Amino acid sequence: MVASSFLSNLAAASPSYETISQVTDGHTSLLAAVVLCATAHATWWFLRFSLLPSFHRDEPKELPYTLPLLGHLFSFFGDSNALLTRARNYFGDTREPFALTIAGMKTYVLTRAEDVAEAYRNVKTLSYEEFVQAMMRILGNSELSVKAMFTPLPKDKSGFPNPHGKSLGILFREMHIHQLFPGKHLDFLEDRFHEYFDEHLHLEKLNEGCHYALEKTAGSIVVPLTQWCSDYFVRGGQHAYFGPRLADIDTGLTDAFIVFDELSYQVIYQYPSFLAKEMRTSRDRILQGFRKYLQVPKEERVGDAWFVKAMEDELRAVGMNDEDMAIATLTIYWAINTNSRKASYWLLAYLLQTPGLIDIARKETAPAFRPDGTVDLDYLHSSLPQVDAMWSEMLRMSAFAASVRFITDDTVIGGKTLKKDKRLIIPYRQLHMDQRVFGEDIDQFRHERFLENPRLASGNNFRPFGGGATMCPGRHIAKRGVIVFVAMVLNRFDIELDGEDQPMLEADLKKPVPGLMSPKVGADLRVRLTPRKAST
């Protein structure tokens, strides 16, 4: 009886044949689906990266990827330099042009100096305008303003000469070059930087203005190097270009810009608003300051650079509204300040962490400081071989931007055909870390390499400011401003790392930037400044 009951219960609890059949069928269907997907993916991969390339040997090889359409999207935005290095090594480090796919868009990459030079010479089928227009839209410019900026203007228009009938978008660059090319307009800017530094590089002024100081005493001050360089250079750049009026309108505008600049990758990659609240808040504050600035009568805006008023006149002439003019002014402010503040940081940081360089730089710049307190700026321009080499090595180590072009027609570069309607990028860091050019110690700061071979600074492998028609026009004032600042700091202060527990000098290689790298979060240096007896 008991056995009969047990067997009955066991039968009741056991799955029926139908149930087993359903489960088995379900597993079989799932397995079949997995096999089908795997087969389809393997077939796609074979066609994409093995078969089809064999019919297009004249085109750059493409780095294989796993996810269709997305391609290398996550790797590129996560750490673009690591991805580019991996791709270059995947193809045997031949430095031939290769291709990536980023969100469905094929993008060609150049890492060989000869190919880069060829690309910069090509102004017919490699265009930059599309990216300028895209950036204008991202920053909030209206379609009417974008069209106005890139519509050819009459050759006989008033204002800045336009003998070739170019658009304002192209003329703006030529106007900025006119301001920044060696001559009276560049001298004006350098004098304004020097004027600002001369007033503020005193211990009393440092104690008064550096609210972020880590320690203040009667004899010295300790500051975070990144924040200090950023603060002084953005304020100095604002003073040089816009005079004192902009600071009167909003004393916190420079602080807002530093926040915006550190988060500017969110602009470039078009982050949704809910993920970019801090960036948007700082951007809106800057735009509000520029709207107010542009409403001030010109005669009340004294001490500004020629380019600022000339730019405003041209914008008003093509019918720009106040909002679009404020955004255009922001792009100029951004270009002025994004790299010089980082360049001053990196140069001082490498001097501080490389034994003996502070003394070398101080000794070489000392003759520029006259007994009456004035500075011989011409001497700083032409008589500093050691500091010039340090400047070049700093740029080699810290330049992280890339030139971008849109391919308007099939173009042959490096023996490979780059197809129409695709993108081309030229990553500077890949050029600067070429061991065949700069030596095996490429990860070390060694300025002597530029003294041993001065041609390195003018070679095709050295492109910290880009090249061709889009070479950064601000390269001269950036160098002059930074050298003046560093020379004055070394002349007036003993500068040293505060304490031995300093973080490693480390750059943020994962954050995309439009110029020089930022230091990695948490890797800032604490610096003590003590007035030198000779300068008191």
In tens digits, the chain (536 residues) has pLDDT values of 444 443 344 344 445 545 545 545 556 777 777 777 878 778 877 777 777 777 878 999 999 988 888 888 888 888 889 999 999 999 999 999 999 998 888 999 999 999 999 999 998 999 988 888 888 888 889 999 999 999 999 999 999 999 999 999 999 999 999 999 899 999 999 999 999 999 999 999 999 999 999 999 999 999 999 999 999 999 999 999 999 999 999 999 999 999 999 998 888 777 778 888 999 999 999 999 999 999 999 999 999 999 999 999 999 999 999 999 999 999 999 999 999 999 999 999 999 999 899 999 999 999 999 999 999 999 999 999 999 999 999 999 999 888 889 999 999 999 999 999 999 999 999 999 999 999 999 999 999 999 999 999 999 999 999 888 888 889 999 999 999 999 999 999 999 999 888 877 888 888 777 789 998 888 889 999 999 975 44
Task: Identify whether 301 is part of a domain.
Answer: yes
Is 220 contained in some domain?
A: yes
Q: Helical H runs in 401-455?
A: 428-432, 435-438, 448-452
CATH code, domain with 278: 1.10.630.10
In a domain, 107, yes or no: no
The pLDDT value given to residue 27: 64
In a domain, 229, yes or no: yes
Give me the helices (H) in 220-339, please. Answer: 225-242, 245-249, 253-262, 265-268, 277-295, 306-317, 322-337
**C-alpha span between 457 and 449 (Å, rounded):** 10
Non-local CB neighbours of 18 within 8 Å, separated by 6+ positions: none
The count of domains in the chain is 1
Q: What angle do CA 328, 476, 198 make, to 5 degrees?
A: 90
Tell me the H-state helices in 296-433: 306-317, 322-337, 340-353, 357-365, 377-382, 385-398, 428-432
Q: Which residues are annotated as a binding site for heme?
A: 472
Would you tell me how many other CB atoms lie within 10 Å of the CB of residue 190?
Answer: 19
What's the pLDDT score for residue 26?
55
What is the per-residue pLDDT for 40? 78
Whether residue 276 is contained in a domain is answered as yes
Predicted TM-score (pTM) of this structure: 0.88
CB-CB contact of 485 with 228 (8 Å): no
> Is residue 330 included in any domain, yes or no?
yes
- Domain presence at residue 298: yes
Which residue numbers belong to the known binding site? 472
In-domain check, residue 411? no
Domain assignment of residue 527, given as a range:
166-369+476-535
Select from 516, 525, 524, 523 the least CA-distant residue to 495. 525
